Amino acid sequence: MSGDAGNPHTPHELWVKFAATRDPSLRDQLVTENLGLARRLAHRFAHRGQSYDDLAQVASMALIKAVDRYDPERNVKFSTFATGTIIGELKRHFRDRGWSVRAPRRIQELYLELGTTIESLGHGLGRSPKVSELAKATGASEEAIVEAIEAGQGYRSASLDAPGVAGATLGDSLAAEDVAVTLIDERSVLEPALASLPDRNRVIMKLRFIDGLTQSEIASQVGISQMHVSRLLATSLAQLRQAFTADL
């Protein structure tokens, strides 16, 4: 068998020799030659609130495990094998050490996924994505998206001023227009008030402020006049505003 076992400059015969001898000097050479892969993968996770140096160390330790466990006789490139091992260790690092308040694993993983999803959608849309757009992109429900964002408030992240990759801080990467994040505290106040609204009012509020429909589109969908929609929105907003200001 021949082929690329990871670093293209690493001869396949070197992997075969290490598998047979477990020579420590060969091991060090293989780890050194593939450190670039570990660093690239650590860089991919560096915007999620942990320092790049810590992540690079986790990735490097995972690389050592991958070198030790790799079987050059299997029809798998080392880069493919090592990538799975390193990403698995990085994700475990976030799950095990990144949460001061334990959240369900599915919510932790969704929260970590949202960091990349918000960034990629934001570039395409030219704005921060809505909860509905995040749900569509991740395949999760809107309720799960909001739950993940709220659970993220218990995430033990680095200081907003802690330097990340290329000198950028975590604070620099936060989306200033991300309504789903900025309104989490307000949501806890407004939810009871929303629940107290008549069913039709709640539907209209959802169509207007979550689905982004115009008043004319709402009127057509609900089966009332646009003026009636406007009045119901004004009434509902006044009720919500009263509930919010009363809690301040």
Q: Determine the pLDDT at residue 19.
A: 92
Element containing residue 116 per DSSP (H, E): helix 105-125
For the chain, the first-to-last Cα distance in angstroms comes to 70
Q: What residues are paired with 169 via a beta bridge?
A: 163
Chain-centroid distance of CA 161 in Å reads 20
pLDDT of residue 35: 92
The 3-state DSSP composition of the chain as helix, strand, coil percent (nearest 5) reads: 70, 0, 30
Residue 31 lies in a domain: yes
What's the CATH number where 47 sits?
A: 1.20.120.1810
pLDDT score, position 152:
64
Q: Is residue 6 part of a domain?
A: no
Residues 106-118 have a mean pLDDT of 80
In whole angstroms, what is the distance from residue 241 CA to residue 199 CA? 18
pLDDT for 155: 56
Query: Helical H runs in 45-104?
Result: 52-69, 78-97
Residues 172, 188, single domain; the answer is: no
At a CB cut-off of 8 Å and minimum separation 6, what does 184 contact? 149, 150, 153
Give percent above pLDDT 90 in the chain.
17
Of 97, 118, 141, the last residue of a domain is 97
> Does the CA dihedral 232-238-242-243 come out positive or negative?
positive
Q: Which two tokens stand for residue 179?
A: 């309504």
Q: How confident is the model at residue 15 (pLDDT cuts 50, 70, 90)?
A: very high
Q: Span 112-136, mean pLDDT? A: 81
CATH number at residue 130: 1.10.10
Q: Which residue has the higher pLDDT, 183 or 133?
A: 133
In this prediction, residue 33 carries a pLDDT of: 92
pLDDT band at 86 (very low <50, low <70, confident <90, very high): very high
> In 201-224, which positions are buried (b, 16+ CB within 10 angstroms) versus exposed (e)?
beebbebbeeeebebeebbeebee
64-68, 128-132, 164-168, 216-220, range with the lowest pLDDT: 164-168
Q: For the residues 188-216, what does the mean pLDDT come to?
A: 76
Residue 2 falls inside a structural domain: no
Total number of domains constituting the chain: 3
Domain shared by 145 and 86, yes or no: no
Whether 105 has a pLDDT exceeding 60, the answer reads yes
pLDDT range class, residue 30, cuts 50, 70, 90: very high
**Residue 5 domain flag:** no
Nearest to 107 by CA among 133, 50, 145: 145
Chain segment 93-103, per-residue pLDDT in tens: 876 665 555 56
Q: What is the mean pLDDT of residues 43-61?
A: 82
Give a yes or no: residue 169 inside a domain.
Answer: yes
Give the rounded distance of the alpha carbon of 239 from its chain centre. 34
Structural domain includes residue 4? no
- Are 141 and 68 contained in the same domain? no
Q: Is residue 82 part of a domain?
A: yes
56 within a domain of the structure (yes/no):
yes
Query: What residues have CB less than 8 Å from 83, skipping those under 6 apart?
Result: 37, 41
Task: Give the domain-ending residue among 97, 120, 141.
Answer: 97
Domain boundary among 176, 196, 213: 176
Q: What confidence tier does 63 reach under pLDDT thresholds 50, 70, 90?
A: very high
Mean pLDDT of the 179-197 span: 55
pTM of model > 0.95? no
CATH classification of the domain holding 241: 1.10.10.10
CA 141/CA 149 separation, integer angstroms: 13
Residue 14 in tokens: 């070197």
Domain of residue 28: give its range.
Answer: 12-97
Helical ranges in 167-214 per DSSP H:
170-173, 179-182, 184-196, 199-209
Among 10-19, 50-59, 145-154, where is mean pLDDT lowest?
145-154
Q: Is 19 in the same domain as 72?
A: yes
Residues 165, 125 share a domain: yes
74 and 119 both lie in a single domain: no
